Chains A and B, each alone.
Chain A
Amino acid sequence: MSPDATRLTPATAPLREDLRLVADMIDPGSRVLDVGCGNGELLSYLVHARSVDGRGMELSQGGVNSCVRNGLSVIQGDADNDLHDYPSHAFDYIVLSQTLQATRNPREVLHHLVRIGRHAIVSIPNFGHWRMRMRILIEGRMPRTPVLPHHWYDTPNIHLCTLLDFVDLCDEESIAVERSVTLDDLGRPYRLNPRGRLANLLAAQGLFLLRGRS
């Protein structure tokens, strides 16, 4: 893992740990699209503390409305349906946090991300985490963890993968992993190589800075 990944710059406002790691991958003053921006926590931080030209996309109407009320530029939409329209390299960074596994066509979404953004920042839950493995192996039940808390019947997460699976897909699709961080349940970084078997066992989440190779 690159030493840069854990060198954190001080935040001006308290930001959730995993979002802070995302923010630290983004150059100040750049153009950013946050897909699945929720109530705009990351976007607001980037706009106000990092002078970013920020836009957001959010599925929940409540999230969108609260963002726009707070002066953020956010549209209602989702990664599966609303990325097609954006021109290539419209943004310096496009962020998809903990959402890829909930899309209908993650491979296509991934391609849109590296097309629209010069860089894409993607975080995913790691289905190879030891808790998942134990729950299946010992209890014979579908895993439920702090990162993936849903029951099998109500989960939006229809395309789960392990860190190794994700890195394999990037390799197959000629998407460069420029930087990566592995995280524990609480979003704190681990010093582990995300391409290694240990990270695939111990990390609850992975965060990747990607770039299209075309």
Chain B
Amino acid sequence: MTTFATPPLPLAGLPVSERDRPGFRLIVADPLALDSGQSLAPYAIAYTTYGTLNAERSNAILICHALTGDQYVAEPHPITGKPGWWDILAGPGKVLDTERYFLICANVLGGCMGSTGPADLNPATGAPWNLSFPVITIADMVRAQKQLIDQLGIAQLFAVIGGSMGGMQVLQWAASYPDRVFAAVPIATAARHSAQNIAFHEVGRQAIMADANWCDGDYLARGVRPQRGLAVARMAAHVTYLSEQALHRKFGRNLQNREALTFGFDADFQVENYLRHQGMSFVDRFDANSYLYITRACDYFDLAAEHGGVLANAFADTKTRFCSISFTSDWLYPTAENREIVHALNAAAANVSFVEVATDKGHDAFLLDEPEFHATLRGFLDGCAEHRGLIRR
């Protein structure tokens, strides 16, 4: 067995705190050709790994994180100290078993946890990119990840797995680099961003831009941050991640530490207090401009458009084994949109499984304890591991 790791590489101008973050950074000097026509060089990809890459380099699973996720899948978050966002799934003996698989997760391009994004310094000017950072797409994120996988010497990923925006990356991986993906698990996602989803993202972006501290994106130089705008963006988005039933079950119309309505605009209701907390804790770990860029990348995602308007063409002759998973109460990426992916895969005669998990937890279900979902993923990966010849250690 080879343990594979690259040492963290120093990036000029990087604050010390970032250098000390757990995980690795890959600096790529070759320009990355972006969908916008611009190119980006040099750029950094911050990533973490768990488990051990086997001698054949055949047991690597790339985990793609969602809009506001990051590479800290299965370890405490370096800023919030909270458990990794997929701690429930990833670890020794868990579904994404680190004793069996080599897990990789990279912060997306445009992100703010170490991969190059708008808050980083533009080497040409020495000042933060801010809004001069090129608009990036899901395909650009995947191109950058492919550089990382090349660097790690992995000819074929055993699996690429992700939910929500992570699921879009999974689909893009399978479409762009079919030979590099043995199995693909797009979860609670869509092959294109719907008008409703674009609309919600626009609400978030407008909330950020309406904050006077946003300063047309130039807030870093002015020593301020559009925290209120970013918090409102998070609050609005957070509602879309839940379901009406889940909100009702959790909060109902319960009052927050009070016996009666105050006839004012304090957080009378628990649900208000919860959302305010979600908003305020988010701004500690996320950059407002990154939020603009990453939501934009989701909005631009339309996999069929790249293939003559026929989604099935994105998967023509694919050998990848797919498992699509959706959740009944997810109204952000509803089952119907996941099913469109499945229909396209059928039309390409691809090997596909599709499971809709009954839950009232909404879109966020893919991050939560959902035994049916976990059993499905475990069964699918076990079946694939058998076909790939991965021996259980």
Q: Which residues of A contact B (CB under 8 A)?
A: 53, 55, 61, 64-65, 67-77, 82, 85-87, 90-91
Contacts and interface: CB of A to CB of B under 8 A. Distances in A.
A85 B351 contact: no
Contact of A82 (B346, B356, B358): B346
B343 interface: yes
B379 A70 contact: yes
Q: Which 10 A-B residue pairs are closest in the complex by CB-CB distance?
A: A71-B383, A69-B379, A75-B354, A90-B349, A85-B347, A85-B346, A85-B343, A68-B353, A73-B353, A69-B375
30 contacts: A61-B358, A64-B353, A64-B355, A65-B355, A67-B353, A69-B375, A71-B379, A71-B380, A71-B382, A71-B383, A71-B386, A73-B353, A73-B383, A74-B354, A75-B346, A75-B352, A75-B353, A76-B354, A76-B355, A76-B356, A77-B342, A77-B354, A82-B343, A85-B346, A85-B347, A87-B347, A87-B348, A87-B349, A90-B349, A91-B349
A69 B376 CA distance: 5
Interface string B234-247: 00000000000000
B57 interface: no
A68 B380 contact: yes
A195 B375 CA distance: 47
Nearest to A89: B349
Secondary structure class of chain A's binding surface, majority of residues: mixed
B323 interface: yes
Contacts of A65: 355, 357, 372, 375-376
A34 B356 CA distance: 19
Interface of B: 312, 321, 323-324, 342-344, 346-349, 351-358, 372, 375-376, 378-380, 382-384, 386
A71 B324 CA distance: 14
Contacts of B351: 53, 55, 73
A68 B312 CA distance: 22
A90 B348 CA distance: 9
B148 to A, nearest CB: 29
A86 B342 contact: no
Contacts of B358: 61
Among B324, B355, B357, the one with the most A-chain Cβ atoms within 10 Å of its Cβ is B355
A72 B383 contact: yes
Contacts of B347: 85-87
Nearest to A56: B353
Contact of A68 (B344, B349, B355): B355
Contacts of A70: 379, 383
A86 B353 CA distance: 14
A92 B372 CA distance: 32
